Amino acid sequence: MAAHRKSLKHVTGRGLVYAVLIVSALLMALPFYWMVSSALKMEPFIFASPPQWLPDPLIWDNFIAVFTRIPFPRYLLNSVLVAVIVTVSHVFFDTLAGYAFAKFRFPGRDTIFFLLLLGLMVPFQVNLIPIYKIMSSLGWVDSYMGLIAPQLTSVFGIFLMRQFMRSIPDELLDAARIDGCNELGVFFRVVAPLALPGIATLIIFTFMGVWNDFLWPRLILSSNELYTLPLGLAQMQMRNTSNWGEVMAGTTVTALPMVIVFLLMQRQFISGMTEGAVKA
């Protein structure tokens, strides 16, 4: 009898947890669903009362208008170019710096790392004017270089990778050195495979942050052909204040790459955790 009650209590508890998770997931997915649904509706039905949850009739005109009335493909190409370059740069430099701070001993290591952490306390908006002046002195205003250069590395990425790599056993690194690996060989053959979960997390944070960035591109860019998607969407909204279907279609297309990257990195995250556990 006691075992039955314990089993019933366990099942009830799990059922309650699943119910809370399902409700939470639906609440978080509702805005995304409404965005996609509005992109497939005719304009009069977007704000209909009562709400029309399923598009009827289902149209694709809003998506066609996004790619024909504004240079949306150009904005998309710019965002992809900037996000990929910055993400690759973060993975390379932040991971190497995190490895150095976690596994090397050199004079002033802890002091330098502490000063880097102090940089996390300074909001990016405070540094906007100094960074802009530097870009202006280099002649990089309104250019890809000015858009990309200030974002090539980050203190948060270094901190994230440093904390993750501290969990990698030093014995594995020493064994690789005994086998004849130099430091780059140790990093790429031993550390990098074990650090895949941290790298996947860094990729997700970096890609989404750059992809959604509005403030810095708005400040440094003035040419329409260099605009990224957030700037393009803002411009489209100002031009089409009465056509929310097109705005929702543009927002849907903009959100899809982030969803794809997250799903791909989620699988990589799980794979990296498993691989690291086996090797360790």
On whether both 54 and 126 belong to a single domain, the answer is no
Backbone angles phi, psi at 248, to 5 degrees: -65, -35
Looking at the structure, do residues 205 and 257 belong to the same domain, yes or no? yes
Judgement on whether residues 166 and 38 belong to the same structural domain of the protein: no
Residues 168 and 43 in one domain: no
Q: What is the pLDDT of residue 95?
A: 93
Percent of the chain with pLDDT over 70: 90
Average pLDDT, the chain: 85
219 and 161 in one domain?
A: yes
276 pLDDT above the threshold of 60 = no
- The reported pLDDT for the residue numbered 275 is 45
Q: 92 or 236: which carries more pLDDT confidence?
A: 92
pTM above 0.85, yes or no: no
Segments forming the whole domain that contains residue 50: 27-59
What would the mean pLDDT of 226-255 be, rounded to a whole number?
A: 83
Buried b (16+ CB within 10 A) or exposed e, 235-261: ebeeebeebbbbbbbbbbbbbebeeeb
Distance CA 251, CA 62 (A): 11
Residues 32 and 70 occupy one common structural domain: no
Whether residues 244 and 180 fall in one domain: yes
Q: In total, how many domains does the chain have?
A: 2
Per DSSP, the three-state class of 35 is helix
